[in-house]
Structure 1
Amino acid sequence: MTNVLKRLALKGINAAGYTLLRAGEPEAIRAEAVANAEERVARIREEAVANAEERVERIRQEAVANAEERVERIRKEADEDAEMRIGAIRSEAEDDAARRAERNRTETDDHVQVRDASLYPSMVSDIRPIEHITRGCFQDRTEATEASITEYMESEIALGRVFNYFSEYPTQSMLSTNARMAIFGLIRMIKPATVVEIGTYYAGTSEVIARALWENRSGVLHTVDPYGARRCPSILRKWPKELRDRVRYWSENSAAFFERATRDHLQFDMVFVDGNHDFEFALFDLMAAARLLRPGGLIIVDNCEQAGPLSACRSFLRDMPGWEEIGRLASSPDADGPFAAPSTLIADTGFAFLKGPDMVHVGERPVSFGQVRIERPKVTGFQIKLGAESFAGTLHYRVLLRAFEYGTSVIEELKSTGAVRLASDGQRVVNQWLAEPLRTDFGYLYANAVYTTEVELAWTPDDGNTPLQLTKNPVILPLAGPVGGSA
């Protein structure tokens, strides 16, 4: 029994231990599950935090971008509004300035005679109404020669009607009565289509010219003065409309005017040079005017009692073949000394009359026909029109194409040089094509490219004497043509 009890007791102990072991299993599982759950929760929490941070960063970036975009939009709108307001203010200011300037100009016009009277008492004068001075006279065109000018100045017309009208009038003219009579009569005689006056000053001589053109019933005057922008228009506004319609005033120097005239293909019949009297300026005006003067045209140079204009006339006549003087002022020697009173064709004037040849003369000395603006960056040749009946020799030429952009120091220059034999074979028009066309791609690099071309000619006559005569200046040929030779 004792053994039985022992066995039962031992069995009970084992059963209790087993029961205790079995009872410990759920706790381990639970602990493992808790650990796994905590790990998963931690991982989920980390992922959630990371996702939240990423989302927050994305939202922040989007908000910043939206804010920057909005700020930029607001700034642009503010800039545009500011520009509009500034533009409106500027426009109002300009309008106000224009009104004030016009008011000041009007006040100046109303008081110009009073203010100028202290310096130029003779300028206090009313402009005369439009009227005929030489009605029924000068019916036909008369060539300007020493004989015709002298005959006019001694005629009853000049000494009567013209003298009576222009004696002491216009009072703002700086010319003598004889000089005004001569200018008026010459224009009535030769009937120019285009007259140029270098040096407007107070537009006194301009009025004399305009009255002659009005009586001719044709012709226009271009008068040039860089210092008269305010003075001259106010004077011209006082003229009768019939005279104003005959005048174009240019507030620029003669260099700018001649460049404009070249670009616009203007030609002149008569030029009155009365600008800067220094030698260099007077000579420039002569040379520039001669390029644009029609064959047989007339240049009158004032103040040749002064060294500058007189020396300019003498240099011009020496260097320009075919030109001649009407009279003996510039071409006569200084027999009585360098400062002796000049021997003028018309008394009480300082006029030198220079007459251009009926043809354009080309001699052995190279001559440039000036820079001419062109639209296309290509030159293939030039055209000349021959005027003489008999000639033989070699024509030397150089053609230049220049490309540049204003405001930069960049310039490209291309040139082509050659020579061609010419003889009087009945051919009047010669198209001289270059061996290789001059062409530039300058315009692809510079948006505001400007192109000019220049033709230079020299003539070697077989007889060593006869110049080549052209009916007009050479003309550039921009179109395609045969390579080399004449056509």
Structure 2
Amino acid sequence: MDTTISERPLEPLAPSIEHQAVTPAALAECIAGRTYARLTAYFDGWPERSLMGPHSRAVLYTLARMLRPEAVAEVGTLHAGTSEVLARALWENGTGELHTADPFGADRCPQIIATWPPELHAVTQFQPVNSMAFWVDLARRRVPLGLVLVDGNHDYEFALYDLQMAARLLRPGGVVVMDNSDQTGPFEAARAFLAMNPAWRELGNAIATHDATDPFNDKRASLPNTAFVLLQSPSLLSIGALPWSTGTMPTASAWARGLELDLPPQRIAGQLHYRVFVRAFADHNRWVGEVATKGAIRIKMEGGKRSIIHQFPWPLGFEVPTRFPEAVCNVEIDLAWQADADSPPLMLSSPPFAF
């Protein structure tokens, strides 16, 4: 396979873009600035293997500079052109790793990445797997994502799955970029996701201004000259009537005695329903243990932050047989908020913790 590329030396491209919270105003200010204009010129026609336009590449570079993420995830490596844009931004940041996956790129992508400057492929992890395996691996390793590019299978069901998994792993204030907003699958997945997660917001107004009489508008996008929908996670964890789950979290033992909740200042009243699972797996999953409990906590706050230590009526768990010293244990916490009349969703400063 031909992997010849027009190499460019590493150089800081956007030193004036500071580490900052991504807000609509801050992003608009960056895009209106001279640095962004230089980025679009730099990325005009390069990397040659990237199928995105110069503005899309410049937006991704700008977001990576603003967020300074510990980790970036990309679904859909293809020819690794956009991957290189992201890797260069992380190099300029001086920190962060790029995780990228393409189930059809096992022979193609590593050869291309190997042609990059060593500093770039040192911060890039490529996986020749589908997005389900990719997300499972990132979740298992608890990779702290700050920026995600979803550019894989554009069918609605696939796009929605990728978006939901990205949201589960994204840090507060992080950004998910859905590419190909001109196509039905990614755009409708973004619309459905926002409807289910009202605490999230679009950095733009493509969804808010969607016209049902023009369902195939190929100009809709969060930002001009792109085909992006930009979605941002809330700075706090929002719990509403729709049940929310931590997913499985590794633990040292198969025991939990209660929940710890960290609540920021807010005015709320209602019942917080919970369900907690404790599980253990051993002997190649031929031995499995599981117990669960559920309950509710009455919460009323009139401002001021608060920590809640809630003990279960009895310890939840079991002893793993000593013949399985390598057993894998985990806990999963489900929450749902039943708000009193006129009360908003419950906000948590961080995910709940089982002790």
**Structures share fold, TM-score greater than 0.5:** yes
5 Å-filtered alignment, 1:13-412, equals: 111-113=1-3, 124-134=4-14, 136-138=15-17, 140-159=18-37, 161-405=38-282, 411-412=288-289
Distance (whole Å) between structure 2 residues aligned to residue 323 and residue 178 of structure 1: 24
Q: How many residues align structurally?
A: 354
Distance 1:254 1:239 in 2: 24
Q: Can you list the C-alpha shifts for 1:311-336, whole angstroms capped at 9, x where unaligned?
A: 11111101113101111223333244
**Which amino acid letter does the alignment assign opposite residue 2 of structure 2?**
V
Give CA deviations for 1:95-123 in whole Å, capped at 9, x if unaligned: xxxxxxxxxxxxxxxx524xxxxxxxxxx
Counterpart of 1:106 in structure 2 is none
SS class of match (2:36): helix
Amino acid at match of 1:469: M
Q: Which amino acid aligns with 1:154?
A: A
**Closer, same or farther: CA 277–407 of 1 in aligned 2, 3 Å:** farther
Cα 1:370–1:295 change in 2 (3 A) is: same
- The AA in structure 2 aligned to 1:137 is S
What amino acid is the match of 2:267? S
1:469 Cα deviation (Å)?
0.6
| TM-score between the two structures when normalised by the length of structure 2 | 0.90
Write out per-residue CA displacement over residues 277-300 of structure 1, whole angstroms, 9 at most, x where no aligned residue: 122221122111112211111111
Q: In proportion to residue count, which structure has more helix?
A: 1
Relative to structure 1, is the Cα distance of residues 452 and 163 closer, same or farther in structure 2, using a 3 angstrom cutoff?
Answer: same
Residue 362 of structure 1 aligns to which amino acid in structure 2? I
Tell me which amino acid in the other structure corresponds to 1:178: H
The answer on whether the counterparts of 2:269 and 2:343 sit within 8 Å (CA) in structure 1 is no
Deviation at 1:303, TM superposition (A): 1.0
Structure 1 residues 410, 305: closer, same or farther in 2, change over 3 A?
A: farther
Q: How does 1:410-449 map to 2 (within 5 A)?
A: 411-424=288-301, 428-441=306-319, 443=321, 449=327
Q: Which of the two has higher C-alpha Rg?
A: 1
One-letter code aligned to 1:148 = A
Is 2:328 the partner of 1:460? no
Distance in 1 (CA, whole Å) between partners of 2:144 and 2:310 is: 24
Unaligned runs of 5+ in 2: none
Contact kept in structure 2, 1:271 and 1:298, CA below 8 Å = yes
Q: Is the 8 A contact 1:388 1:470 kept in 2?
A: no
Q: CA deviation at 1:424?
A: 2.7
Distance of 1:446 and 1:192 partners within structure 2: 38
Residues 408, 183 of structure 1: alpha-carbon distance in 2 compared, 3 angstrom cutoff: closer
- Distance across 2 between alignment mates of 1:441 and 1:227: 44
Give me the whole-angstrom Cα distance separating, in 2, the residues matched to 1:193 and 1:290: 16
Q: Any idea what SS the aligned residue of 2:334 has?
A: strand
Alpha-carbon contact 1:295-1:359 (below 8 Å) kept? yes
| Alpha-carbon distance between aligned partners in 1 of 2:12 and 2:324, rounded to the nearest angstrom | 56
Deviation for aligned residue 1:250: 2.7
Letter in 2 for 1:424: M
- Measured after TM superposition, the shift of residue 155 of structure 1 is 2.7
- Aligned-residue offset at 1:271: 1.0
> Residues 69 and 147 of structure 2 are in contact (CA less than 8 Å); yes or no, is this contact kept in structure 1?
yes
Q: Which structure has the higher relative contact order (CA within 8 Å, separation 6+)?
A: 2
Identical-pair percentage: 37
Once residues 230 and 380 of structure 1 are traced to their aligned partners in structure 2, the CA distance between those partners, rounded to angstroms, is 49
1:406 Cα shift? 7.3
**Rounded Cα–Cα distance in structure 1 between residues aligned with 2:207 and 2:73:** 21
Rounded to whole Å, the distance in 2 between the matches of 1:437 and 1:243 is 49
Code of the residue aligned with 1:288 in structure 2: it is M
Q: CA deviation at 1:167?
A: 0.8
- Whole-Å Cα distance in 2 between the matches of residues 449 and 216 of structure 1? 39
SS of the residue corresponding to residue 267 of structure 2 reads: coil
RMSD: 2.4
CA displacement 1:416-437 (0-9 Å, x = unmatched) = 0111112337563222222222
Partner letter of residue 149 of structure 1?
Answer: L
**Which shifted more, 355-364 or 280-289?**
280-289
Distance 2:98 2:317 in 1: 38
Looking at structure 1, the residues matched to 165 and 310 of structure 2 have their Cα atoms a distance apart, in angstroms, of 25
Query: C-alpha displacement at 1:411, in angstroms?
Result: 4.6
TM-score w.r.t. structure 1 length? 0.67
Q: 1:95 aligns to what?
A: none
Q: Which residue of 2 aligns with 1:81?
A: none
Between the aligned partners of 1:333 and 1:410, the Cα distance in structure 2 is 51
For the residues of structure 2 that align with 1:473 and 1:327, how far apart are their CA atoms? 28
**Letter of the 1:131 counterpart:** E
The amino acid that maps onto 1:231 is R
Contact kept in structure 1, 2:101 and 2:128, CA below 8 Å: yes
Q: 2 CA distance for matches of 1:427 and 1:181?
A: 39
Contact 2:22 2:173 in 1 (8 A): no
**Alpha carbons of structure 1 residues 427 and 388: separation in structure 2 relative to 1, 3 Å:** closer
